[in-house]
């Protein structure tokens, strides 16, 4: 059974940093790209970032480019989102999502984590 377990969500002040983690099980982790998708309170879905199966290729939404960094450790079946220079508009539930493919260039998400709330506020 595929499982994605997120952690790291918290309340942080504007300008602060936070790292989210997503621990995966139930599939060959390195064979799949992984993405972060967020949802602001009461709003729609916004794709944030993707990392390819081997970790070589990463892509970001313009709204987070230069502030967020996605990485993965295939030996631990875990991937991460390092979020720096956080803004109030980054407040959202952050979901990790498994891609059906390995490259991450056409993200299609067949499994999702339960979501982790990040609140940016003073």
Residues that bind another protein (CB under 8 A): 37, 44-47, 50, 57, 59, 61-62, 95, 100, 104-110, 112-115
CB-count burial class (<10 Å; 0-12, 13-18, 19+) for 29: buried
| N-terminal to C-terminal alpha carbon distance within the chain | 40
Among 31, 5, 30, 33, residue whose Cα is nearest residue 20: 5
Our CB check for another protein shows the closer of 16 and 112 to be: 112
- Strand, coil or helix: 54: coil
At closest approach, how far in Å is the CB of 103 from another protein? 9
Q: Which is nearer to another protein, 64 or 120 (CB)?
A: 64
Task: Please identify, using beta-carbon distances, which residue of 16 and 63 lies nearer to another protein.
Answer: 63
CB of 34 to another protein, least distance (A): 13
Q: How many CB atoms lie within 10 A of CB 106?
A: 10
CB of 69 to another protein, least distance (A): 16
């Amino acid at each position: 059974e595929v499982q994605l377990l997120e952690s790291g969500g918290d309340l942080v002040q504007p300008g602060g940093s936070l790292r989210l983690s997503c621990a995966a099980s139930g599939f060959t982790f390195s064979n799949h790209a992984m993405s972060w998708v967020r949802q602001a309170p009461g709003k729609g879905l916004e794709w944030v970032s993707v990392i390819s199966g081997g970790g070589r290729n990463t892509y970001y939404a313009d709204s987070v480019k230069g502030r967020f960094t996605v990485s993965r450790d295939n030996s631990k079946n875990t991937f991460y989102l390092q979020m720096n220079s956080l803004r109030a508009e980054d407040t959202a539930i952050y979901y990790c999502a498994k891609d059906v493919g390995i490259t991450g260039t056409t993200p299609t998400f067949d499994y999702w984590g339960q979501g982790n709330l990040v609140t940016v506020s003073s």
